[in-house]
Amino acid sequence: MRAARDRRMSEAALRDLLHLRALPGIGDVRFRRLLVQHGTAARALRAPLDELGERAASARDDPAILGRVERSLQTIAARDVEVLLHGQRRYPRRLRQLAVPPPVLFARGRLNLLRQPAITVVGSRHATQYGLDVARLLSGALAREGYVIVSGLAQGIDRAAHEGCLEAGGDTIAIVGSGIDVVFPHEHEMLQERIAREGLLLTEFLPGEPPLRHNFPRRNRILAALGLGVLVVEAKEQSGVNSTVSHALDLNRDVFAVPGPIGRPTSAGTNALIRDGAKLVTDVDDILAEVRLATRRRARVRIRERADGGPNGVLPVVAEPDPETPAGALWRALGPDPKHVDELAVTTGLTTSAALTGLLELELEGRVTRRSGMRFSRC
């Protein structure tokens, strides 16, 4: 098997993990509990009936289950799929904030995008031309500012957000409600492959899993968690977008909404969100100002935590960024005097886009301050 699977997992261990995940009656909580109690998926598969559950125990040797596991292994190898297990270092840090994080993720593409600042863009599948244009415009503008665009690869606003980002030369993550090898909707096949090639395709569902209706509300918690905020472009009042917004609020993420004409169904949801306290967006600067303000708040909290010190009042040592990363190179090039992003890109040998992404990462960590005119300095 190629390096597509987790590099710290043998083929046998991965087979056992997929086998355990494929058993009926084992949800996220039981799956994690079994792994914690038994240490490995192989031992968890041999757990007694009262721990494994009657449905799972009776299906352990089901040929249909075993066949699904083998097909999943073949897909993982053939499509260079990465398998991320909760608790691993590579597992997305933002998803750990969920009450019940997905225990296993399947990914195709650039995993480094999971560490970069992102904005989630969602909205109606039955969008108007106005909504599609706005989604493309705002996603492209956010991408040019260095933010990854996260969306769900659905028809309407999701597709426009992904396309607007890619057209601007930005990076995008698609969270799908099916197996990573399943194209849904079918007309998005080329877009899905492009995202897997240039951005990142991510799902919690086993390869081959069809796009079942109940998968999408589950998927929405991942959409909410990966972004620094959630932007709703168009939505009906009773919409699946509401579950993404609900998860975002639970996670203390910013919620933004684009207003629309009174009386239009696809504006009813966004206008109601604004009425209830979502931040009104008429321009990308409305989003950027709020995200940067929230970043400064988090930085002040971290600075206070550092200043509190240990029990003897000794300030803890804060590690500098890894010098082998773009953020580390930028950190060494920065000083108290503001420098323009283009100057920093030349100094570090990075592209302007990569430099901006690294600077945003440092900003989110509370290490640098953004000045006017795309200039940055150390805090």
Domain membership flag for residue 95: no
User: What pTM value is reported for the model?
Assistant: 0.80
Rounded to an integer, the average pLDDT of 338-355 is: 86
Question: Are 229 and 298 in a shared domain?
Answer: no
Domain membership flag for residue 89: no
Domain membership flag for residue 300: yes
Give the tens place of pLDDT for each residue, 244-272: 999 999 999 999 999 999 999 999 999 99
CATH of the domain at 22: 1.10.150
Give the tens place of pLDDT for each residue, 220-250: 999 999 999 999 999 999 888 999 999 999 9
Split into its structural domains, the chain has a count of 3
Residues in contact with 209: Cβ distance below 8 Å, sequence separation at least 6, in sequence order: 178, 179, 182, 203, 215
Domain membership flag for residue 277: yes
Question: Are 300 and 278 in a shared domain?
Answer: no
Whether the pLDDT of residue 308 is over 80: the answer is no
Rounded distance between C-alpha atoms, residue 352 and residue 337, angstroms: 19
Question: Are 318 and 225 in a shared domain?
Answer: no
CA 170 to chain centre: 15
Domain membership flag for residue 88: no
Read off the tokens for 168: 């601007």
Question: Are 186 and 266 in a shared domain?
Answer: yes
Domain membership flag for residue 104: no
Question: Are 266 and 210 in a shared domain?
Answer: yes
**Where does a domain end: 282, 309, 330?**
282
Question: Are 341 and 241 in a shared domain?
Answer: no
Give the tens place of pLDDT for each residue, 87-136: 888 999 999 999 999 999 999 999 999 999 999 999 999 999 999 999 99
Question: Are 218 and 295 in a shared domain?
Answer: no
Half-sphere exposure of 282 (CA within 13 A, CB side): 0
Query: For position 357, what pLDDT does the model report?
Result: 78
Compute CA distances 306 → 303, 312, 316, whole Å: 5, 13, 6
Give the tens place of pLDDT for each residue, 312-321: 444 344 467 7
Cis peptide before 103 (omega within 30 of 0): no
Domain membership of residue 296 as a residue range: 290-378
Give the tens place of pLDDT for each residue, 25-81: 999 999 999 998 999 999 999 999 999 999 999 999 999 999 999 999 999 999 999
Question: Are 39 and 121 in a shared domain?
Answer: no
Question: Are 300 and 370 in a shared domain?
Answer: yes
Question: Are 264 and 160 in a shared domain?
Answer: yes
Vertex 359, ends 355 and 361: CA angle to 5°?
Answer: 120
**Where does a domain end: 235, 266, 282?**
282
